[in-house]
Amino acid sequence: QVQLVESGGGLVQAGGSTTLSCAASGDTVGSSAMGWFRRVPGKEREFVAAISSLGITGYADVVKGRFNISRDGAKYTFLQMNGLKPEDTAVYYCVTTVDSWFRNTPSHPVQFRYWGQGTQVTVSS
């Protein structure tokens, strides 16, 4: 089992920046991919970004160029969010895989076994 705890977020003005952090504990695997999804009430979960064990990154088109994902080993991942827009308002979830990912990244929810509880990000206009 892996436990994921997100931190950061809160209320941010449009155009501003914030960074989300995620700490993993338990049976973490160094070769796993880590990532972020987000969810708005009434909508499906939306892929945001992912990073492989070798640091290969993947982003949703809507955040490409504004968000940056990074990781520190198998236990920490970060999502730096710049140029925030009101439509970025959502609950953001940290995720990690069981499978190994090296030179590409997953992006489908079913590819991620473990999910955090989520942290709210609200962007005011």
For residue 82, is pLDDT > 90? yes
pLDDT band at 20 (very low <50, low <70, confident <90, very high): very high
Which has the closest alpha carbon to 82: 8, 7, 12?
12
pLDDT number for residue 74: 87
**Which token pair is 8?**
């950061």
Q: Is the pLDDT of residue 86 over 90?
A: yes
Mean pLDDT over 62-87 rounds to 97
How does residue 22 score in pLDDT terms, banded at 50, 70 and 90? very high
The continuous run of DSSP H or E covering 37 comes out as: strand 32-39
Distances (CA, A) of 100 to 4, 41, 52, 55: 18, 31, 8, 13
For tokens 């990690």, name the residue: 96
Beta carbons of 56 and 65 less than 8 angstroms apart: no
What is the structure's pLDDT at 29?
Answer: 84
Percent of the chain residues topping a pLDDT of 90: 94
pLDDT of residue 24: 96
